Amino acid sequence: PAAASDAALFARARVNKALDAVGKPLDRTLLDVMWRERGMDEIERAERWPRRSAKLALKLSLQRLGLHYGLIAG
């Protein structure tokens, strides 16, 4: 978007870089929980995953995000 400020464009780039660090398909789970505010049961039904699978996917995605931001030692 041409009307977006530099700060908005840089913020979008940082979010995209973080999602790239999380990787596919875990980035989708992270977005579903954090931005779309979907519950674990809802994600598992939509993805046709076994029970408690969304919890594991979220845990893995948060670990990768922590590594990306240097909050967890590699």
Q: What confidence category does residue 1 fall into, taking pLDDT thresholds of 50, 70 and 90?
A: low
Sole residue written with tokens 């989708």: 28
Q: Which domain holds residue 48?
A: 6-68
Give the mean model confidence (pLDDT) for residues 26-34. Answer: 94
In a domain, 1, yes or no: no
For 64, what's the count of Cα atoms within 13 Å in the CB-facing half-sphere? 19
Q: What confidence category does residue 4 fall into, taking pLDDT thresholds of 50, 70 and 90?
A: confident
CATH of the domain at 19: 1.10.10
In a domain, 59, yes or no: yes
The pLDDT value recorded for residue 3 is: 76
Write out pLDDT tens, residues 52-65: 999 999 999 999 99
In a domain, 74, yes or no: no
Q: Considering its fold, how many domains does the chain have in total?
A: 1
The pLDDT value recorded for residue 73 is: 85
pTM of the model: 0.83
Does the CA dihedral 36-42-47-50 come out positive or negative? positive
